[in-house]
Amino acid sequence: MENESCDLTAKKCVPCEGGAAPLSQERIDELLKELDGWEYSDGKISRTFSFKDFYETVEFVNAIAWIANREGHHPDLEVSYNTCKAYFWTHAINGMSENDFICAAKIDALQK
């Protein structure tokens, strides 16, 4: 298989209406290597981000919301005083799609 690795932050999510096959475990493992600190478990990728206070946490959540709306692909979020945990998977196919990794990479870029 040809290496399909590229800069995920340069990609745009494509609508997924279902019927598409979820990514293979091999492809998930390849794409995880392009992310910073994300884990794959129970059919989802997730990462916990830490901040100094609630204001910074909410500021980050708002940035995630902006990315998610622009990409048309939305995470589940757990928000507390100084942490935010983001989860991605593609509901329409009940599995992982490249969209999940594109959004995760764009969220990672907020931390750089």
pLDDT tens profile 72-94: 999 999 999 999 999 999 988 98
| Residues 81, 91: Cα–Cα separation, whole Å | 28
Q: What is the pLDDT of residue 77?
A: 98
| Residues 53, 34: Cα–Cα separation, whole Å | 28
CATH class of segment(s) 23-110: alpha beta
Report the range of poorest mean pLDDT among 14-28, 42-56, 84-98. 14-28
Average pLDDT of the residues in 55-62: 98
Q: What is the pLDDT of residue 112?
A: 67
- Tokens in use for 69? 């709306």
Q: In the chain, which residue ranges form alpha helices assigned H by DSSP?
A: 25-32, 54-71, 98-110
